[in-house]
Amino acid sequence: MIYVTGDVHSRSIGGWEQEKIGSEVIASEKYLEILKKYQISCTLFINGKCLENEKENVEKLLKYDVELGGHTYDNFGGINIFKSYLNRKRFKCIYGSQNFQKKDIEKTKKAFEKFGLKMGSWRTHAFGSNEKTFKILEKVNVEYVSDLLGDVKPFKKNKIIHLPINIPVDQNTIAYGELMPKNRDVFTSCTKGRITPEEWFEILKKRVKENEKKKISSVILIHPATMAFLDDFKLFENVAKFLSKYECKKISEIIL
């Protein structure tokens, strides 16, 4: 079983990929169009702010076989290295204090409800959750969380079903040609990228095949912005073609 997921950020964040591609919501439509061609359903985790500021474009996404989950309101007010350092130091969590997290999750949920959607699933931006985050999510009836990383099977803890991302993440592993100083922002993660997009695709294929053999669900994170930035979805089309051999589901369709 395959779970294809992507993260979609508000235009206000102004990330370096966004500088080239523009709106991540618009990029997501192209992403979903390719998945549709290969009959793959997916889950997109989206900033609450997108639902407010890019309403018409988000509505276009809902024509596809997609589930929208929360991805913080606006990346904690646009996280930067300094803020992240302080949050880690003070709260041992980049998502900040319990109080901040609670307000942010509720604000995101409200944006979903105003849009007419239920926020049943969640991924914190930059995988920034801690145990407190999960407690808050439980209280607002989020049932599915895909935020942990590692070679782990989906599991249930308290009221939440966790779907850890168990395939190397595109943005964290792919090297985008020449490394520029402006790409050194830790939240772009690109400085960690040491392999070519094609090498990443080979690893993805290998890992998915291994998981299928062991009957472990593969939870994959591929960013629409990254695929747009890289080569205008050419690699993504090949990934989708490969994944279409397997059964694909949305996060909330999981049965443990």
SS3 annotation, the chain: CEEEEEEECCHHHCCHHHHHHCCHHHHHHHHHHHHHHCCCCEEEEECHHHHHHCHHHHHHHCCCCEEEEECCCCHHHHCCHHHHHHHHHHHCCCCCCHHHHHHHHHHHHHHHHHHCCCCCEECCHHHCCCHHHHHHHHHCCCCEECCCECCCCCEEECCEEECCECCCCHHHHECCCCCCHHHHCHHHCHHHCCECHHHHHHHHHHHHHHHHHCCCCEEEECCHHHHHHHHCCHHHHHHHHHHCCCCECCHHHCCC
Please give the residue ranges that form the binding site for Zn ion (CB under 5 A).
Answer: 7, 125
Cβ neighbours around 99 below 10 Å, total: 11
Beta bridge partners of 67: 43
Would you say 111 or 211 has its CB closer to Zn ion? Answer: 111
Answer whether 240's CB lies under 8 Å from 40's CB.
yes
Would you say 153 or 162 has its CB closer to Zn ion? Answer: 162
Would you say 44 or 117 has its CB closer to Zn ion? Answer: 44
Residue 100: CB minimum distance to Zn ion, A: 17
Residue 95: CB minimum distance to Zn ion, A: 11
Would you say 7 or 170 has its CB closer to Zn ion? Answer: 7
Residue 242: CB minimum distance to Zn ion, A: 24
Residue 202: CB minimum distance to Zn ion, A: 25
Would you say 63 or 184 has its CB closer to Zn ion? Answer: 184
Residue pointed to by tokens 């392999």: 195
Q: Which residue is nearest to Zn ion (CB)?
A: 125
Would you say 171 or 217 has its CB closer to Zn ion? Answer: 171
Would you say 81 or 247 has its CB closer to Zn ion? Answer: 81
Beta bridge partners of 149: 165
Strands 121-122 and 155-157, by their bridges, are unpaired
Residue 46: CB minimum distance to Zn ion, A: 9
Residue 149: CB minimum distance to Zn ion, A: 13
Residue 173: CB minimum distance to Zn ion, A: 16
